[in-house]
Amino acid sequence: MTYPEWVLRGLFTPRFLGLFALLVLVVAATTMLGFWQLGVAQDEGRKQAVAAAAKLARQPLEQVTRPHAPFEAELSNRPVTATGTYAADGQVLIVDRRLGGRTGTWVVTPLRLESGGTVAVLRGFVDGRPSSPPEPPTGRVTVSGTLGPSESPRPTAPALPAPQRSSLDLSALVNEWPGDLYNAVIVAAEEQSASGTATARPIAPTGLTRVPPPRLDAGLNLKNAAYAVQWWVFGLFAVWMWWKIVRAERRAATDAQAGAPDRPGQDDGPHRDAHEEEARV
């Protein structure tokens, strides 16, 4: 019997079927636990990145970046403020967005800054596909929020009636909005009246739901990542132990088959010596 044949035949014995079933359970469990810990490592890394960004002091947009400057990775979720006037005639609607299980549209409005330049403000989310956006606040407004990047264009998306769009592509808006455009989007968390009075007055976003900051591309939490690797090592160890048991059984069976029966006359040495001694006498 060849070695593979012996292994296959041995696997179908009740003992090895039980061991193999246990191995499958252990490997499946350790694999799933490893991927679970990897997911935890990603979530923890993202939480740490968001927490680190939130600890940064909120600064005016003009002190953080400038018009047409590239959007650097460290700008993601950076807290900023911007003061200016909304240009209602330049609003766009970004369709097919989801928020908490709802499908709807982003309302994006250009804010013309007092310091010069224009920045896109993601004011909020509305259900469905409205044909026209809600009117933004009039007069001087101070927007507090976090920075996010532009989106890539979707060349295969169907044509949409204005002001609807399939993506928040600033490279397309730069030719439509007047002034120097910032290569960043402010995800609005709060809007306040900036009419010059001593007390700022919050502005409620009528008909809008605020959009949470974008998710960060963050690294892994090393502690949880190590746990994931540890679970996978346990799975490999289980496979190695199972293989050792199979090898040990094979060696035991081979040794048993290789043991030769007693040869005839093997133990006749002393008797033969006695007969020879009698013959000599």
Any idea where the domains of the chain sit in the sequence?
1-57+217-252, 78-202
Residue owning tokens 């989106």: 151
pLDDT number for residue 230: 84
Do residues 172 and 153 touch, judged by C-beta distance below 8 A?
yes
Q: What is the pLDDT of residue 190?
A: 92
- Alpha carbon 36 to chain centroid, angstroms: 12
Q: Which residue type is seen at 53?
A: A
What integer pLDDT is reported at residue 260 of this predicted model?
Answer: 46
Q: Which of 170, 196, 194, 192 is nearest to 183 (CA)?
A: 170
pLDDT above 90 as % of the chain? 36
Share of the chain above pLDDT 70, in %: 74
Contacts of 110 (CB under 8 A, 6+ apart): 86, 87, 90, 91, 118, 119, 120, 121, 173, 177
> Residues of the chain whose pLDDT is less than 70?
1-13, 15, 46-56, 195-200, 215-221, 253-255, 257-281
- Rounded CA-CA distance 20/213 in Å is 48
